[in-house]
Structure 1
Amino acid sequence: MATDYDTPRKTDDDINEDSIEELKARRVDKGASTVDVDEAELAENLELPGADLSNEELSVRVLPRQADEFTCSVCFLVHHRSQLASEDGGQLVCTECA
């Protein structure tokens, strides 16, 4: 909520003079400014586990392993050579698995 710091502030005497009806009206006005969320829109974007995705297509471009990358023999993920921890008999292991 934005606050205007240039508006004059009320003193204690001004606050005590506010009637109960004014305070109740202000509280009702604040409640009217809340945003309604359409739950139907949220449900449309929610995908449940086990949903049928057979008609969906991937839009990801897959690149082959580059010359400066290796496949870890433990986790089978492709890493950059800077993450190589050990090489035992052709078995390359990344720093995360070492």
Structure 2
Amino acid sequence: MATDYDAPRKNDEETNEDSLEELKSRRNDKNSGKVDEDEVEAAESFELPGADLSHEELTVRVLPKQANEFTCASCFLVKATSQLAETKNGQGYCIDCV
């Protein structure tokens, strides 16, 4: 529970003044935030590991090589030219792989 340290503190007299009805209403308010959810509908949106996804299609748009990037010959990741550490035999290597 979050505590507001800037708020004025109640002394013992004010704490005893809280009525039983007020305390019950606070307890009921905490439960009012719960959302009723249809379990079947929620379960349909989850994909389990190892599920058959052969009927799914994946569309990927491949961008052409940009002027300010290179592909590392060691890790095969596309990196910015600012991460080019060295070039051997015409192939670039990033600073992580050198």
Question: TM-score interval w.r.t. the shorter chain?
Answer: 0.5 to 0.7
**TM score, norm. by length of structure 2:** 0.64
Residue deviations 1:11-66 (CA, integer Å, cap 9, x gap): 754432334x3255234322331222524444333222222222222233111223
Percent of counterpart pairs with the same letter?
A: 54
2:79 and 2:10 map into 1 onto residues whose CA distance is 63
Unmatched runs of 5 consecutive residues or more in structure 2: 1-8
2:38 corresponds to 1:56: no
2:85 and 2:40 map into 1 onto residues whose CA distance is 50
Match of 1:17 in 2: 17
Unmatched runs of 5 consecutive residues or more in structure 1: 1-8
**TM score, norm. by length of structure 1:** 0.64
2:77 and 2:17 map into 1 onto residues whose CA distance is 70
Deviates further, 51-60 or 73-82:
51-60
How many residue pairs align between the two structures?
Answer: 89
- Backbone CA RMSD of aligned residues: 2.8
